[in-house]
Structures are given as C-alpha cells and as structure tokens.
Amino acid sequence: MTVEEADKLIAKFTGFQKTSIGWYDSEDLLSNIDENNTFDELLFHKSWDWLMPVIIKISKLKISLEPTDIDYAYPRTFGMMNEEGDLMFRFNGFLLHSDKELINAANKATIEYIEWYNEQKE
C-alpha cells in the first residue's frame, strides 16, 4: 500500500471527504490545524497533529477479539524501544509495529486496525 493509499484509508475511516477545495474533515478532528491548510495533501503519515486524533478515536471504539474478547483497542505499547533500537507501537490485541520513527510505527498500527475494522463491517 502506498503512502497516499494509506492516508486515504485513514481519511475515509475518520470521515474526511474530498471536495473542490481539498480534503474536508466532517468530524472536525483537525480543528487545531492551521486554517490556511486546505488539506490538499493528507498528512496522517507524517504529522502527530493529524494521526493522534485517529488513534484517540480508535482507542474509544469497543471491539471484540476472539478468544480474548478485548473491550477496547487502546494503545498498549507506545514508544518503547526494541533490542534493535526501533520504537514500537501497537493497539491492544493487534500486532506490534516497530520503526526508527515512532510516527511510522503508529501509522502502521493505525492502518492495521482500520483494515481489520473494515473487514468486520463487511
């Protein structure tokens, strides 16, 4: 999946819509972003201001994972370092993702969760 495809997957999950002036956040998740940004470029892959509201939204959603029947997919590992010196991130009940940059690991975990979430809706 390309960066653009991943950002669009996250945008769709959060309720963003593409308009003639750029991407529009229908849930006002990014109300603190510079008002001059017309969202021509989605920045979930490189901005904590964009990604953290998505992580918070995911953390508040009730889920059920067999066989553990977990209630929430809250961030369980956040910023811990593995033996190789990479930073790690995962949502409770999901895979552990690591990268040299924490935002990349968090972005991978977010994409994993959204793909799982979309499969559950089908």
Instruction: Tell me the domain boundaries of the chain.
Output: 3-121
Q: Reduced to 3 states, what is the DSSP secondary structure of residue 25? A: strand
* pLDDT tens-place string over residues 68-91: 666 767 777 788 999 999 999 999
Please state the pTM of the whole predicted model. 0.79
Tell me if residue 113 falls in helix, strand or coil: helix
Predicted confidence (pLDDT) per residue in 103-113, tens digit: 999 999 999 99
Q: Is the pLDDT of residue 16 over 60?
A: yes
DSSP character string of 23-80? EEETT-TTTTS-TT---SS--TTT-HHHHHHHHHHHHHSB---TTT--SB--EEEEEE
For 22, the token pair is 């750029």
